[in-house]
Amino acid sequence: MKKIIFTIIYLTIFSFMNNSLVLGGALNVTMGENKQGYKKAYFAGGCFWCMEESYDKVKGVVKSISGYSGGHVKNPTYKQVIHEKTGHVEAIEVTYDPSLTSYKKLLNVFWKNVDPFDATGQFCDKGESYRSVAFYRNKAQKSHIEKSVKDIESKFKDKQVLTLIWAFEKFYP
């Protein structure tokens, strides 16, 4: 098992060093290249690695990257975000093909992977950096988020959604 994990890590690092990544054997994505038509969405839902895994399974998601967003410190480190008051949360950047999936579908994946009623973090990850946040990049995304919050609150009549809704500014991988 250790050999398999080591091999996966080695191949992933090697792929990034070669500046390209082959996903599913069929899609070749060059890192840093913005393929025409691809879009990006940003979410925070506790541990960023757990969030990545959920999005990587969605048809139309080209890649997801762990990082930080929402704070005031430029180029924050993991240690700063977890132990200091940077304002950042652990977040992911999801690059997707809108001809295969939609922002609305990605938002639905988000809601299925967070506890929207917990203001102190997510599941066993607690603290400011683990709060859930739906970031919006435009009015349409903000509208989708607000509508989905209303839908959740109407379904759970005695609970208020405590997930934060923030305008997206910057993402630090």
The one catalytic residue in 47, 73, 82, 164 is: 47
Residue 124 annotated among the catalytic residues of the structure: no
Beta carbons of 76 and 172 less than 8 angstroms apart: yes
Write the Ramachandran bin of 147: left for phi over 0, alpha for psi from -120 to 50, otherwise beta: alpha
Which residues are designated catalytic?
A: 47
